[in-house]
Structure 1
């Protein structure tokens, strides 16, 4: 008797040795990888396996993973794109990107990918621009472009419509930094800061904590999470030079059980939503020399409080990690107490980049200290004052005028 063959493309149905039914079918070639895509579903019965398979195909068509009768809606495609994006970035980055795309979906989510036009994008940006700052608005545009670029690569649209739309204009506000001698004045004022009107007053250990954190910020240019996540084992001596070997940072990744930490990310839960994780980039793994005085003050605190090698050097009186908002609040108090300009705490990193430039430190050394991947970023962190520019100009360009000409005034 002749064997009855299934129609080509109908898929394969079989029952394994455990009695589970499988429905498997080839769905054509992936336009990105060039490899054949197969979809498979399992069930206790043949009909259950087929039903699950059909549901999986419907979901894939809805999100654009495979071609269907209709183009997927933007909201459905974003859902799939974010699921993949979450496996490649830190939870903080994912939350930001997901929030941006959620806002875009409120205006464009029900539009099908093939129907999206540049005018759709412009209308969305105008609507969002009524309530968002320019920098934030541009990040919404960038997020949407990332999604549509991938849709173009997936073969779902011929061209990303964002390519025909000018990104929102952003005018960066100049970063204000303290003068060369003002950080020292700030740090010396910390012990005499006014007491808090609400909550417990800062103890002597707390005041020392703030002074050391601010000193680290200006002396090393460490990122906020890098200095708040400092541990004793990062304090090293290399070739007779004392310094910090930056190996991790403190980040707000979310509550354990509610946030999914990617397998590739090395993260240790500390308290609440705070985790000790890897630095921002590969270039952020660096060694920063420390002045002997700061080195001694850090080790004095570690010894007095019996801080373990892998524990945080900076914890509040409740034993919790220092939060960014708490650090910024005390920085503002110290500025006010010292009578200094109201600058942002992050400007301390700009101050470090500027002071190293004024000291004529070579660019490669400055980039290594700051931990930047792109040298252009270090330049953006550098802010030369008027006096520095005048001195450089005087050295570079001589007085081009001739001798003074004495004019005789003749009365008529």
Structure 2
């Protein structure tokens, strides 16, 4: 009697279906959410093509750790799966892009190593490779991403220990943010109100020449930046509907921001994103604490409302645009530096306006809870990083302390 040979358990089956197609089935691990059985099927009337499809898919699933194997996946393969399966559905597109950039740096350094063979020495090599050409902050981001990915590999049962746990994260020496002194923002705003035509541009750099109306808009924009500390995307997303009054106090309801997403970006189903124009989306703030009420002066509130009225904007229209199009970081940065140059001020970044606002809140004596709430931060430690005490301000505080002792 002829012996029957069965395929190894878990390798699937091969048969010819009712349409005379050679069919290979590949067994996958049960669905982790439901526990149900999962299979992939590959069909072709050519048996060699059907088998080739099956073998290629099986090879890829083994290389990324989906199917069990005697060896662990290479780090590059695991990171590719981790980005698509673990992160892409759960983070915003811009965050995913930064994760992908970090993983590219990791792959370029130690991507050929199998995750089961990774040691603390490999983690240190990664830091050394990156800091040879890039900043220590880039190395820290890569370390964090590697640690995140290997934690999930532990969770999947692919490795027992995350080697990053045996290494200190790269040390980062942050460059201090320089902010303007009291009184200087007024000079910047005044310079911005008449800054058009001051700087020559390369051909094609600006297809829409600046106008007096642009000057007025940027002056208003930077009053908003210094008086509220709003993030760039939050300012760009401001609409007339966001101008509110709370118990008679004029305020801004910060509830969304503009984000530019790369072509082909995957928008997670949970992200309440609304397309504004090609590549630009209206999305919720950076974090849950990002949605907040920021009180403003009546003068600024009236000027913002007046701008909306004068330009016949609806409640959902963007207040700040150029020729009806959303603003971009490049355009704002160019106008910002031009105004600084005209006002004879230091070349600080536009982000320094947010730092300036946080500092003024602290100098005014606002409580930690109030400062954190107005800035839209989850932790007061983050707010503290935006606060810059000048020697004069500290001297005034210590002077008052000495006076109280003497009395």
- 2:340 corresponds to 1:341: no
1:66-77 alignment runs, 5 A limit: 66-77=67-78
Contact in 2 for aligned 1:138/1:167 (Cα 8 Å): yes
* Deviation of 1:234 (Å): 1.1
Alpha carbons of 1:114 and 1:208: their partners in 2 closer, same or farther (altered >3 Å)? same
* Deviation of 1:124 (Å): 2.2
1:49-88 alignment runs, 5 A limit: 56-84=57-85, 85-88=87-90
Distance 2:225 2:17 in 1: 63
- 2:373 corresponds to 1:380: no
Note the alpha carbon deviations across 1:197-252, whole angstroms, 9 max, x for none: 23454212101110111111000010000001111111112221221111110111
The corresponding residue for 1:40 is 39
1:2-401 alignment runs, 5 A limit: 9=9, 23=25, 25=27, 27=29, 36=35, 38-42=37-41, 56-84=57-85, 85-193=87-195, 195=197, 196-198=199-201, 199=206, 200-255=208-263, 258-316=264-322, 318-397=323-402
Distance 2:405 2:43 in 1: 93
* Deviation of 1:96 (Å): 1.1
The alignment yields a C-alpha RMSD, in angstroms, of 3.0
Distance 1:264 1:372 in 2: 22
Contact in 2 for aligned 1:22/1:42 (Cα 8 Å): yes
Note the alpha carbon deviations across 1:325-344, whole angstroms, 9 max, x for none: 21111111111111122211
Distance 1:293 1:16 in 2: 77
* Deviation of 1:36 (Å): 4.8
Distance 2:384 2:246 in 1: 28
Secondary structure of the corresponding residue to residue 192 of structure 1: coil
* Deviation of 1:323 (Å): 0.6
Alpha carbons of 1:51 and 1:38: their partners in 2 closer, same or farther (altered >3 Å)? farther
Contact in 1 for aligned 2:140/2:169 (Cα 8 Å): yes
Name the TM-score, length of structure 2 as normaliser: 0.87
Contact in 2 for aligned 1:267/1:278 (Cα 8 Å): yes
Distance 2:90 2:19 in 1: 36
Secondary structure of the corresponding residue to residue 377 of structure 2: coil
* Deviation of 1:27 (Å): 4.0
Alpha carbons of 1:339 and 1:27: their partners in 2 closer, same or farther (altered >3 Å)? closer
Contact in 1 for aligned 2:260/2:279 (Cα 8 Å): yes
Secondary structure of the corresponding residue to residue 158 of structure 1: coil
Contact in 1 for aligned 2:24/2:54 (Cα 8 Å): no
- Radius of gyration: which is bigger? 1
* Deviation of 1:283 (Å): 0.3
Name the TM-score, length of structure 1 as normaliser: 0.86
Distance 2:55 2:35 in 1: 19
Aligned residues: 391
Distance 1:301 1:360 in 2: 32
Structure 2 residue ranges without an equivalent (≥5)? none
